[in-house]
Amino acid sequence: MNKLLKASLIAATVTVATPSFAGGDINSALANICSIVKTNDKSALRSKMKRVEADFGAKLRDVYNGVTCGGESLIRTAMLSEAVDTGTFMIKKMTKRALTQPEQDGKTLSAWVTEKGLDGSPLAAVLKERI
């Protein structure tokens, strides 16, 4: 399935608008991903992403740009929530190129981290090491 099609998800606190995927509704599958990230439940996030991949053929990197939690990306949400486990999991699943691309507001993750004064956070260190 075309990655651009998979990545065309658009959300606000995971009210996700998606094209139709064979086999069901990806919106329902991603419904509580923000709360999983915020509560730092790595095993639930891993389980959810395995289920989304099995059901829709979409990996985290395919849906990442279309899912927002209160206007912030999933990794930014993890940083703001100090959710080190889920944030580390997502950073490791994303490509280095995706981690250095500007997000919806035009800022890269690194620039956003510096702007928010989160340079000392454990996730900032993981991000810096990865890119």
Tens digits of per-residue pLDDT, 45-67? Answer: 999 999 989 988 889 888 888 88
pLDDT value of position 24: 57
User: DSSP strand E in 5-129: where?
Assistant: none
- Number of domain units in the chain: 1
User: Tell me, what amino acid is at 63?
Assistant: V
pLDDT beyond 70 at 9: no
Identify the H or E element spanning 115. Answer: helix 109-116
26: its two tokens: 């990806």
pLDDT value of position 67: 86
Greater confidence (102 vs 28) lies with: 102
pLDDT value of position 56: 87
CA nearest 77: which of 35, 120, 49?
35
pLDDT beyond 80 at 12: no
Other beta carbons within 10 Å of 77: 23
**Model pTM?**
0.76
Q: How confident is the model at residue 29 (pLDDT cuts 50, 70, 90)?
A: confident
Average pLDDT over residues 79-108: 92
Q: How confident is the model at residue 23 (pLDDT cuts 50, 70, 90)?
A: very low
How far, in Å, CA of 57 to CA of 75, rounded? 21
CATH code: domain of residue 65: 1.25.40
Structural domain boundaries, residue 123:
3-130
